[in-house]
Amino acid sequence: MNDYSEGAHPDVLEALIRTNEEKLPGYGTDYYSEEAKKKICKWINRDADIFFISGGTQTNKIVIDALLSSYEGVIAVDTGHVSCHEAGAIENTGHKVMTLQNEEGKLCANDVEEYVRCFYEDENHEHMVFPGMVYISYPTEFGTLYSKKELTELYDVCKHYRLPLYIDGARLGYGLCAGDLSIEELASLCDVFYIGGTKVGALCGEAIVFKEKAPKHFVTFIKQHGALLAKGRLLGVQFDALFTDQLYMRISKHAIDMAMIMKEELKKRDYRFAIDSPTNQQFIIVENDKLEDIKKHVMYSFWQRYDETHTIIRLATSWATTKEDVEKLFQYL
Amino acid sequence: MNDYSEGAHPDVLEALIRTNEEKLPGYGTDYYSEEAKKKICKWINRDADIFFISGGTQTNKIVIDALLSSYEGVIAVDTGHVSCHEAGAIENTGHKVMTLQNEEGKLCANDVEEYVRCFYEDENHEHMVFPGMVYISYPTEFGTLYSKKELTELYDVCKHYRLPLYIDGARLGYGLCAGDLSIEELASLCDVFYIGGTKVGALCGEAIVFKEKAPKHFVTFIKQHGALLAKGRLLGVQFDALFTDQLYMRISKHAIDMAMIMKEELKKRDYRFAIDSPTNQQFIIVENDKLEDIKKHVMYSFWQRYDETHTIIRLATSWATTKEDVEKLFQYL
Amino acid sequence: MNDYSEGAHPDVLEALIRTNEEKLPGYGTDYYSEEAKKKICKWINRDADIFFISGGTQTNKIVIDALLSSYEGVIAVDTGHVSCHEAGAIENTGHKVMTLQNEEGKLCANDVEEYVRCFYEDENHEHMVFPGMVYISYPTEFGTLYSKKELTELYDVCKHYRLPLYIDGARLGYGLCAGDLSIEELASLCDVFYIGGTKVGALCGEAIVFKEKAPKHFVTFIKQHGALLAKGRLLGVQFDALFTDQLYMRISKHAIDMAMIMKEELKKRDYRFAIDSPTNQQFIIVENDKLEDIKKHVMYSFWQRYDETHTIIRLATSWATTKEDVEKLFQYL
Amino acid sequence: MNDYSEGAHPDVLEALIRTNEEKLPGYGTDYYSEEAKKKICKWINRDADIFFISGGTQTNKIVIDALLSSYEGVIAVDTGHVSCHEAGAIENTGHKVMTLQNEEGKLCANDVEEYVRCFYEDENHEHMVFPGMVYISYPTEFGTLYSKKELTELYDVCKHYRLPLYIDGARLGYGLCAGDLSIEELASLCDVFYIGGTKVGALCGEAIVFKEKAPKHFVTFIKQHGALLAKGRLLGVQFDALFTDQLYMRISKHAIDMAMIMKEELKKRDYRFAIDSPTNQQFIIVENDKLEDIKKHVMYSFWQRYDETHTIIRLATSWATTKEDVEKLFQYL
């Protein structure tokens, strides 16, 4: 159904248990938060300002509100998470989400170029919201991935117009295991990104990574947004575990392996795919009649209507998916 | 130093471990969240609309923003958490915190009456922020408690002027164990309150309790504020555990017992108290010279300067405080 | 170039001069504001709650923010003034502008029906912004008009889904003189609208008309938005003049007459129209080379590029346009 | 009653009449707006970035929102206009008004120093709103004035802590005519101020003066706040008139002369003053019984209750006050 239906990966849970009785200072100033940050810096192979937040929408809201001036908006594709599935969280901070058409969930460098350029040409645009940054997700909401070439082109446009590029990595691990970008490359091709924990083995938690210094008084900013946990250890301990012995990538790889097995089986059974996704989310087109049957045995996510008689559903794998799960699935599909 | 320096109470942790592999639906629609709500309703002995949020500032922000109209503000004491220690989280939602002077951390019914009455008398007040609700904390930020009589008087004023009364119960359990109000009484003397989990045995989490129906589309409102956890089970499971076999009150009682032993010892040693607190937070006045010594051995919270040569510090107990901890403390105090 | 390049219509100015020395109470509580409201009620032939605001964006911002709940957004066409030419004023109040595709600047009843219906069908939409009201302009930004049939259909959909329909009447008079809707009909086919003054003979000022009671404490709300003029008379006196002896409609009719003469001449000269506008704004497609020439003699508004070699420009008439102006124009066109 | 009960000064009105038929570009880009800016620069004897806004609350809201970061608040006295008489307009932008106690309406340099210093000493203040700027009004809401010495001390503190000092000059002219500060001195002792037009002879309008460059894209920011008038000429023409032949100061001087005559007479009649105001607003303490009588003949502003049997009322002069008005007043006082 999705990649957040179980609790934490056993190793993450184990870390919480092991450290539970330790007396640690609050608000993210604890030892484990510090360790986790160091490990992440090592992973991405550069210095960075890192902050832990409990959920993805919260993270998007905080980063975008922090990077934009009041008169600026954020560019995103129409299918971007911030555009349509965050209940107006971005607008709630006073900023417009400026949507461009997606190509299989992705934002095209050319479209951004064309859109932004006109703010510097033609007559003046003082009555319009200025583009202030660019938001993409990796993988996208459709499970697709930017190739290295695509991301490079997009970042080139961003740099040219001095628009910070922010990557929503809610499922970053799955993307890294399935695509042609290493984490070092990804980190070098944006200004800020977040490493999703909730959907990759944690109980909750995302790590914001600012390549340059974070905006001034960012901890106060987080507090103001209501997102500073008293027991910041909850996030620190989990991320410390996720970045010990490459757990984060191991979890991700496992989910991708399971997804590819599932994809193969779906192909064999002649399922039509709504989109060709290389990651842990697969979108298939099913007849409505058949769906009634499937519903009795399989938990899936309704994605959207395809036409009068068909529906697109999402099947997802995660760290918790086993081969047995996949096998069982195909008893009913 | 505070009541959030350890992780979760062992029974709460145990519940997280036990349920970790269960596949549960997201966003707070899981079985444990439902169970926890039922148990809380039973505890307060009435029906209620209940929602779980990960932290206290987030909770205050969401409740206050949901209850106020745009032209309204929230009345609170000058020392209230929302007034001074939430980095402007309330103002960030567009609302003024209208501060009245505290009496040992408490808000006086008379002061509210006097303040609000003038909006209905004299000349018009169209150029002023209207009082739209009243915020108090129980226990207060100074560890003090409203007596049943005080809270009744305050709520009478609120009802007279149709101002919802909201109680911040970050440390609710400690208050209930130390004061003369039962939970049923407290619930009947306000419109909304929250049951603090983070400081009373949980890893994170607070439970908002609306006695009447929650504002329309409240889940969307929570999502918009970035406060809806994908793995809502994290909060549901913990609150289910806290309200099983009266764990919440047992934890609280233990902390109060430890605090009273500590308080007695402090009195014996002739420490001066900044305030007479019956709860798990004790505020003592210490000479700055002596403080240098104490600092080497004891973790405490700096509270505020008392005068040129003295400082007020906070000592707190929690579920995790043992008699040995208290004894050890007095080797250095 | 536009319909706000001169000051006030002479009769409006005369009223300001005549009343200048009178001592009047402030903030819109003066005699003339009251008179103007009565005259407007008579004009629309129904009771209404009326408020004067100095400009159109301010008005849109205030009405939309007042009518929406926090979790709601406003539906508008992609070319709507609130969608693209108010610098994010709506988002600045925390609300999303939910754009649907325009048909010659207009919003189709069917498109609204289809968009809104899905919030009541399919799976739940708790993670999405709820449609909370509908915004249209009459005339539209392209000078086009809803027919009585179109507006009736649209309002039927709005009523069915309990979405208030709000009409931006920045150029209302011009629309009424050119279309098939009387003011009474228009007023009966929406919930709120504003009567534009700035572009129809006033120095500044728009009149918000709530058919039902205005939202509670609306004056305070206006003040909070910084839009309450101390000398509210400035708006009251002007609107009193505009609605004395049908000045508002006489001004509008004159502009439409001039526009139709201009349109005929343009047709004669084989100009291509970007859109067939029956109102005071005409949009023609001009070769870029020719434009260089025109620029020397004529003030026009650049509208948008048409293609590589052509540009769309706007020509507008107003109360101040004379036959001589139009004749002079065609010396250069 | 107040200083906004008449329309415009005759010379201001004359300018509006004279320029009414001129075709001018919109949104403040007209010739008169430019001229007015030049004249103001000459008056204050320095370069400056100047913008015209239609009212005072709007102006305060825009300047404060533009200068503060999200995590910052504005320091003001508890009786400051932004603190209590703008219906929460500042909080509506997301910022806290941090109030210090007034001394006859004024903010003391020492109080600011003490308040701000603690943010740089003691333990950390990450959970508190940071002071981001300082707001004062000149004259204050009580008609009192900062001496050159007082303002210098205050500005020194501001500069030391890098807090921009902003002066609300709603009644600036009256202050300049009554106090010991020249406009050049005042301009040199702050970072931003506004020159009040509405209460000093204009129909509406205030001029924001940034000594340094205005914040980036400030016109867009104004538009976003709904405060950009299409017919910007309305403000430009008026300010051009106010700063031609020293009209602004002549108007102000006249009002102060009338106020001083009134004050002398009040003293002769043994009226008690609530405060010793040197400007055009006088605050006297009147027995409630007597007030009933006065009410029949004199328009005054209720200020506040003094005690059970007395009330403080405000009497104000303006450009429109004549000797005859003052004489007539004393037939009833």
pLDDT tens readout for residues D204-250:
999 999 999 999 999 999 999 999 999 999 999 999 999 999 999 99
In degrees and rounded to multiples of 5, residue B116 shows phi and psi of -75, -35
Contacts of B71 in chain D (CB under 8 A): 87-88
List chain D residues with CB under 8 Å of B126: 87
pLDDT digits (tens, 9 = 90+) for C13-36: 999 999 999 999 999 999 999 999
The shortest C-alpha distance from A214 to chain B (Å) reads 18
For residue A191, which of A265, A116, A133, A254 has the smallest C-alpha distance? Answer: A133
| Residue ranges of E strands in D152-227 | 165-169, 192-196, 206-210
CA distance to partner chain A, nearest, from residue C170 (Å) = 16
Q: Where are the extended beta strands (E) located within D45-128?
A: 49-53, 72-77, 97-100
Considering CB atoms only, which of C70, C91, C126 is closest to A96?
C91
* Confidence check: pLDDT of C124 > 80: no
The model's confidence at residue A316, banded by pLDDT at 50, 70 and 90, is very high
C92 touches chain B (CB under 8 A): no
Cis peptide, bond prior to residue D25, ω within 30 of zero:
no
Q: Is C213 exposed, middle or buried (0-12, 13-18, 19+ CB in 10 A)?
A: exposed
Judged by a CB distance cut-off of 8 A, whether residue A29 touches chain D is no
Any bridge partners for residue B51, and if so which?
Answer: B208
Q: CA nearest B233: which of B63, B57, B52, B58?
A: B52
B97 forms bridges with which residues in the sheet? B74
Residue ranges of alpha helices (H) inside chain C are 10-19, 31-44, 56-67, 81-84, 109-117, 148-160, 172-178, 183-188, 218-224, 233-242, 247-268, 288-295, 323-332
Q: How confident is the model at residue A123 (pLDDT cuts 50, 70, 90)?
A: low
If one compares B280 and C302, the residue with the highest pLDDT of the two is B280
What pLDDT score was predicted for residue B299? 81
**The pairing of beta strand B310-316 with beta strand B281-287:** antiparallel
Quick one: average pLDDT of B216-240?
97
What is the rounded distance in angstroms from the CA atom of residue A171 to the CA atom of residue A198?
A: 9
Contacts of D69 in chain A (CB under 8 A): 216-217
Which of A5, A8, A230 minimises the CB distance to B55? Answer: A230
Vertex D282 angle, CA D281 and D284, to 5°? 150
Candidates D145, D67, D155; CA nearest to D113 is D155
| Percent of chain C with pLDDT strictly greater than 70 | 99
Instruction: Give the pair of three-digit tokens for residue D167.
Output: 């002066």
Confidence grade of residue B318 (pLDDT, cut at 50, 70, 90)? very high
* Identity of residue D152: T
Torsion, Cα of B58, B60, B65, B69 (10° steps):
180
State the Cα–Cα distance between residues C318 and C202, nearest whole angstrom: 11
Touching check for D171 and chain C: CB below 8 Å? no
Which residues of chain B have a CB within 8 Å of the CB of C65?
70
Q: How far is A58 from chain B (nearest CA, A)?
A: 4
Give pTM, 2 decimals. 0.96
| DSSP string for A71-131 | TEEEEEETTSHHHHSSTTTTGGGT--EEEE--BTTBPPHHHHHHHHHTTTSSS--TTSPEE
DSSP letter for D103, please. B
In chain C, what is the greatest distance between 2 CA atoms, to the nearest angstrom?
64
Mean pLDDT of chain B: 95
Stretch B6-13: mean pLDDT: 97
Inform me whether the C-beta atom of residue B15 falls under 8 Å from chain A C-beta atoms: no
The stretch C301-306 carries a mean pLDDT of 87
Tokens of residue A206, six digits: 């995302």
Specify the pLDDT at position A146. 98
Beta strands in chain A (DSSP E): 49-53, 72-77, 97-100, 130-137, 165-169, 192-196, 206-210, 272-273, 281-287, 301-307, 310-316
Mean of per-residue pLDDT scores for chain D? 95
**Distance in angstroms (rounded) separating the CA atoms of residues D9 and D32:** 18
Q: Looking at the complex, does the CB of residue B217 fall below 8 Å from at least one CB of chain C?
A: yes
The residue among D64, D79, D92, D115 with the most chain B CBs within 10 A of its CB, best to mutate, is: D92
- Bridge-partner residues for C193, per DSSP? C167, C209
Q: What tokens does B294 get?
A: 């104490």
Mutation to test the A interface, candidates B171, B204, B299, most A Cβ within 10 Å: B204
CA A134 and chain centroid, separation? 14
Q: What is the average pLDDT score of chain A?
A: 95
Contact between residue D202 and residue D242 where contact means Cβ atoms under 8 Å apart? yes
pLDDT-based confidence at A194, cuts 50/70/90? Answer: very high
- In angstroms, the CA B3 to CA B255 distance is 9
Chain A residues touching residue B25 (CB < 8 angstroms): 1, 5
Q: Which of C55, C59, C223 sits opposite D57 (nearest CB)?
A: C223
3-state SS string over B16-65?
Answer: HHHHCCCCCCCCCCCHHHHHHHHHHHHHHCCCCEEEEECCHHHHHHHHHH
Compute the distance between CA of residue A199 and CA of residue A59 in angstroms, rounded to an integer: 14
User: How do residues C83-122 score in pLDDT, each as one tens digit?
Assistant: 999 999 999 999 999 999 999 999 999 999 999 998 987 6
State whether the Cα torsion B114-B117-B122-B124 is positive or negative.
Answer: positive
Using one digit for the tens of pLDDT, what is the confidence trace for A34-52?
Answer: 999 999 999 999 999 999 9
Chain A touched by C78 (CB under 8 Å): no
Show the domains of chain C with their CATH numbers: 10-247 (3.40.640.10), 248-332 (3.90.1150.10)
Contact A122 C73 (CB under 8 A): no
Whether B121 and chain D come into contact, CB under 8 Å, resolves to: no
Tell me, rounded to whole angstroms, the distance of Cα C321 from its chain centroid: 19
Segment among A151-155, B23-27, C328-332 with least mean pLDDT: C328-332
Q: Which of C:253-312 have CB within 8 Å of A?
A: 302, 305
Which of C2, C60, C92 is the best mutation test for A, with the most CBs of A within 10 A? C92
Handedness of CA A66, A67, A71, A75 (dihedral sign): negative
Q: What is the pLDDT of residues A65-119, one digit of tens each?
A: 999 999 999 999 999 999 999 999 999 999 999 999 999 999 999 999 999 998 9
pLDDT exceeding 90 applies to what percent of chain C?
A: 88
The predicted complex's ipTM stands at 0.95
What confidence tens digit (pLDDT) does each residue in C182-219 have?
999 999 999 999 999 999 999 999 999 999 999 999 99
pLDDT of residue D256: 97
What pLDDT band is residue D122 in, cutting at 50, 70 and 90? low
> Count of alpha carbons within 13 Å of D225, Cβ hemisphere only?
29
Q: Does B70 touch chain D (CB under 8 A)?
A: yes
Counting Cα atoms < 13 Å in the Cβ hemisphere of C205 gives 30
Angle between helices D10-19 and C10-19 (to 10 degrees): 170
Confidence (pLDDT) at D228: 97
Contact C302 A122 (CB under 8 A): yes
d(CA B41, CA D72): 40
| pLDDT score, position A302 | 86
Would an 8 Å CB–CB cutoff place C29 in contact with chain B?
no
Facing A70 at nearest CB: one of D27, D71, D221: D221
CA distance A196 to C331: 66
End-to-end CA separation in angstroms for chain B: 14
A227 touches chain B (CB under 8 A): yes
What angle is formed at CA B53 by the lines to CA B51 and CA B59, rounded to 5 degrees?
A: 100
Q: Which residues in chain D are closer than 8 Å to A217, comparing Cβ atoms?
A: 69, 71, 126, 130
Those residues whose C-beta lies under 8 Å from the C-beta of residue A130, and which sit 6 or more positions away, are: A69, A71, A72, A73, A119, D217, D220
Enumerate the residues of chain A whose CB falls inside 8 A of the CB of residue D216. Answer: 69
Query: In this predicted structure, what is the pLDDT of residue B174?
Result: 97
What pLDDT digit, counting tens, does each position of B40-88 carry? 999 999 999 999 999 999 999 999 999 999 999 999 999 999 999 999 9
Q: What's chain C's average pLDDT?
A: 95
Read off the tokens for C16: 């300001």
Picking from A61, A128, A129, A220 by the largest number of D CB atoms within 10 A of its own CB, the best residue to mutate is A220
What's the pLDDT tens digit per position in B265-292? 999 999 999 999 999 999 999 999 999 8
Chain B nearest-CA distance from C231, in A, is 15
- Amino acid at residue number A19: T
Lowest mean pLDDT: which of A195-199, C162-166, D155-159, D285-289? Answer: D285-289
Strands, DSSP E only, in chain D? Answer: 49-53, 72-77, 97-100, 130-137, 165-169, 192-196, 206-210, 272-273, 281-287, 301-307, 310-316
DSSP-derived pairing of the beta strands C206-210 and C192-196: antiparallel
Nearest CA in chain B to C215: B69
Tens digit of pLDDT for each residue in B168-183? 999 999 999 999 999 9
* pLDDT number for residue C104: 96
Calculate Rg over the CA atoms of chain C: 20
d(CA B17, nearest CA chain C) in Å = 29
Contact yes or no for B230 and A204 at CB 8 A: yes
CB-closest option in A88, A128, A129 to C71 = A88
Interface contact flag, B122 D70, Cβ < 8 Å:
no
How far is Cα of residue D80 from the mean position of the Cα atoms in its chain? 10
Chains with 3+ CB–CB pairs under 8 A to B are A, C, D
CA distance B52 to B234: 10
Distance from the first to the final alpha carbon of chain C? 14
Query: Which residues in chain B have their CB less than 8 angstroms from residue C216's CB?
Result: 69
**pLDDT higher than threshold 90 for residue C123:** no
Q: How distant, in Å, are the alpha carbons of A35, A142, B70, D322 from that of A81?
A: 30, 10, 28, 65
Q: What are phi and psi of A113, to 5 degrees?
A: -55, -50
In this prediction, residue D1 carries a pLDDT of: 74
| pLDDT (0 to 100) of residue B281 | 94
**Residue D81 contacts C where some CB pair is shorter than 8 Å:** no
Give mean pLDDT, residues D35-45.
98
